[in-house]
Amino acid sequence: MTDVDALDDAIDEASPRLHAELFELLRLPSISTDPAHAADVRRTAEWLATRAGRAGLVTSVEETPGHPIVIARHTESADAPTLLVYGHYDVQPPEPLDAWRTPPFEPTVREGVLYGRGAADDKSQVFLQLAAAELARARGALPINLILLFEGEEEIGSPGLSEFVRERAAELRADHVLIADSMMYAPGQPSLILGMRGMAYFEIEVRTGEHDLHSGQYGGAVPNPASVLAAILASLHDAERRVTLDGFYDDVKAAPPELEAAWRALPFDEAMFRAGAGGARAGGEPGYTTTERLWVRPALDVNGLVSGYGGPGKKTVLPASALAKLSCRLVPDQDPVRVEAAMRAHVARLAPDDVTVTVRLLQANRPWREDPDAPLYRAAAGALEEVFGRAPVRVGHGGTLPIAPELRDALSAPVAVMGFALPGANMHAPNEWFPLDHVAKGMKTMIRLYAGLRSAARHNPIQ
List binders of a second copy among 358-417 (CB under 8 A).
Answer: 362-363, 397-400
Task: Say whether 436 sits in a helix, a strand or coil.
Answer: coil
Residue 229 binds to a second copy (criterion: CB under 8 A): yes
Asked if 26 and 116 count as a contact pair (C-beta separation under 8 A), the reply is yes
* Shortest Å, Cβ 444 to a second copy: 28
- Burial of residue 79, with CB atoms counted within 10 A of its CB: 0-12 exposed, 13-18 middle, 19 or more buried: exposed
- Residue closer to a second copy, measured from CB, 14 or 361: 361
Instruction: For residue 222, give the nearest of 348, 352, 325 by alpha carbon.
Output: 352
Among 143, 209, 256, 382, the residue binding a second copy under the rule CB under 8 A is 209
Among 30, 32, 189, 307, the residue binding a second copy under the rule CB under 8 A is 307
Give the count of beta carbons closer than 10 Å to the beta carbon of residue 52. 24
- Residue closer to a second copy, measured from CB, 50 or 288: 288
- Residue closer to a second copy, measured from CB, 220 or 257: 220
Partner residues linked to 204 by β-bridges: 324, 359
* Shortest Å, Cβ 270 to a second copy: 11
Which 187-206 residues touch a second copy, going by CB under 8 A? 196-197, 199, 201, 203
The answer for residues whose C-beta is within 8 angstroms of residue 70's C-beta and 6 or more apart is 45, 48, 49, 52, 59, 60, 61, 62, 89, 148, 149, 150, 151, 152
- Residue closer to a second copy, measured from CB, 107 or 419: 419
Residue 299 binds to a second copy (criterion: CB under 8 A): yes
Residue 237 binds to a second copy (criterion: CB under 8 A): yes
Residue 284 binds to a second copy (criterion: CB under 8 A): yes
- Residue closer to a second copy, measured from CB, 140 or 216: 216
- Residue closer to a second copy, measured from CB, 239 or 462: 239
The answer for residues whose C-beta is within 8 angstroms of residue 355's C-beta and 6 or more apart is 206, 207, 208, 223, 225, 228
Integer Cα distance of 305 and 240 in angstroms: 22
Among 124, 129, 208, 334, the residue binding a second copy under the rule CB under 8 A is 208
Residue 283 binds to a second copy (criterion: CB under 8 A): yes
Applying CB under 8 A, what is the total number of residues that bind a second copy? 79
Beta strand 82-88 with 176-179 is parallel
Determine the interface stretch with a second copy among 129-137, 210-218, 257-265, 448-456 (rule: CB under 8 A).
210-218
Residue 289 zone, left/alpha/beta (φ > 0; ψ -120 to 50; rest): beta
Site string for a second copy, 3-22 (x = CB under 8 A): --------------------
Instruction: For residue 380, give the nearest of 195, 150, 191 by alpha carbon.
Output: 191
* Shortest Å, Cβ 436 to a second copy: 25
Task: Say whether 17 sits in a helix, a strand or coil.
Answer: helix
* Shortest Å, Cβ 234 to a second copy: 4
Integer Cα distance of 452 and 97 in angstroms: 43
71-124-42 Cα angle (round to 5): 45
* Shortest Å, Cβ 124 to a second copy: 20
- Residue closer to a second copy, measured from CB, 59 or 224: 224
Determine the interface stretch with a second copy among 141-149, 215-223, 407-415, 448-456 (rule: CB under 8 A).
215-223
Among 53, 159, 188, 219, the residue binding a second copy under the rule CB under 8 A is 219
The CB-side HSE value for 218 (13 A sphere, CA atoms) comes to 16
* Shortest Å, Cβ 438 to a second copy: 21
- Residue closer to a second copy, measured from CB, 256 or 352: 352
Among 16, 187, 216, 286, the residue binding a second copy under the rule CB under 8 A is 216
Residue 254 binds to a second copy (criterion: CB under 8 A): no
The answer for residues whose C-beta is within 8 angstroms of residue 78's C-beta and 6 or more apart is 462
* Shortest Å, Cβ 252 to a second copy: 12
- Separation in Å, CA 385 to CA 75, 130, 366, 380, 456: 27, 22, 31, 8, 17
Residue 462 binds to a second copy (criterion: CB under 8 A): no
Residue 272 binds to a second copy (criterion: CB under 8 A): no
Determine the interface stretch with a second copy among 48-56, 137-145, 147-155, 273-281 (rule: CB under 8 A).
273-281
Asked if 453 and 80 count as a contact pair (C-beta separation under 8 A), the reply is no
Residue 305 binds to a second copy (criterion: CB under 8 A): yes
Longest dimension (CA), the chain: 87
Residue 327 binds to a second copy (criterion: CB under 8 A): yes
* Shortest Å, Cβ 291 to a second copy: 8
Helices 437-455 and 124-138, packing angle to 10 deg: 50
* Shortest Å, Cβ 309 to a second copy: 4
Integer Cα distance of 79 and 422 in angstroms: 36
